[in-house]
């Protein structure tokens, strides 16, 4: 099966980036859909800003920028977005009930041969796929933030995912310029977040317990472990609400207290200190 058109559901932090790489690198026609016009407009503005950075660096021409934008079709009509799409990538908030309700609706409108992929970072692919009548066509396609710069895509098998679906999604990811890894079992956090989220949570505990300031924690991990970015800076990029959601999935699925979210993480999310997207998290992004 050849992918010609991609639908991306969700124009937010991840969705707009996935739409951009699909159109810019993959050269796919892309339907970018969100539930409100303002969300779609915001996504398009973020794409324009990102493309302009590539133009400023000399890695993209003005003509290529415009061609990319011409391949992206913003909309709020779900049926229109998915009806002619070969690959449908969902990038909506990490809420299993919300995801299942969206996929149940997509299943009604998508054409017979369409492949379904969820960009979830932690939620069960098997459970999400159960909302559709074609779980064999469903897999995880986990991009990393920001999709325009991060090279990895985790492809995750659900209990009923077919080999053909994995192959088609892997080929599409490679056409988007990505390296792929296969998560053979539908396990919480897949590969990267299974390792990363407990490490990020431990960094928050260091702040919570007054052991070190965020700047020194980030400096220590960057220089001591050769991370390109410190854990607390990374948390601000990922979003503290997203990290908390993943931690709660781990606690529920593994039933192990080692995955308990730090109280400071929960408190900051309640206060709306989510990181870059709210301009404040562990750092003040208005100043940065």
Residues annotated as catalytic are 121, 142, 154, 193
* Burial (CB count <10 Å: 0-12, 13-18, 19+), residue 1: middle
For residue 288, give the nearest of 212, 201, 218 by alpha carbon. 218
Tokens 């009806």: give the residue.
83
Distance CA(149)–CA(25), nearest Å, equals 11
Strand pairing class (138-143; 115-118)? parallel
Distance CA(121)–CA(153), nearest Å, equals 11
Residue 100: CB partners within 8 Å, gap ≥ 6? 127, 128, 130, 131
For residue 104, give the nearest of 90, 120, 124 by alpha carbon. 90
């Amino acid at each position: 099966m050849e992918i010609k058109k991609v639908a991306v559901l969700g124009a937010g932090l991840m969705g707009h980036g996935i739409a951009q790489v699909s159109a810019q690198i993959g050269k796919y026609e892309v339907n970018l859909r969100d539930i409100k016009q303002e969300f779609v407009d915001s996504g398009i503005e973020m794409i324009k800003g990102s493309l302009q950075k590539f133009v400023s660096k000399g890695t993209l021409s003005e003509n290529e920028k415009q061609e990319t934008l011409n391949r992206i079709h913003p909309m709020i009509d779900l049926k229109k977005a998915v009806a002619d799409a070969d690959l449908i990538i969902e990038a909506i908030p990490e809420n299993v009930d919300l995801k299942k309700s969206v996929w149940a609706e997509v299943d009604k409108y998508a054409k017979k041969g369409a492949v379904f992929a969820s960009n979830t970072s932690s939620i069960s692919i098997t459970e999400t796929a159960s909302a559709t009548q074609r779980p064999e066509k469903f897999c995880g396609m986990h991009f990393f933030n920001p999709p325009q710069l991060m090279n990895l895509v985790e492809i995750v098998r659900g209990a009923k995912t077919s080999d053909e679906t994995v192959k088609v999604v892997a080929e599409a990811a490679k056409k988007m310029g990505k390296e792929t890894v296969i998560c053979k079992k539908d396990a919480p956090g897949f590969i990267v977040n299974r390792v990363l989220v407990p490490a990020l949570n431990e960094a928050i505990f260091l702040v919570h317990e007054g052991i070190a300031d965020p700047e020194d924690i980030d400096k220590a991990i960057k220089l001591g472990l050769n991370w390109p970015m410190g854990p607390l800076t990374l948390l601000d990029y990922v979003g503290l609400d997203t990290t908390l959601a993943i931690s709660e999935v781990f606690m529920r699925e593994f039933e192990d207290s080692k995955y308990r979210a730090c109280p400071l993480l929960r408190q900051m999310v309640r206060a709306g200190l989510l990181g870059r997207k709210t301009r404040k998290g562990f750092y003040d992004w208005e100043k940065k």
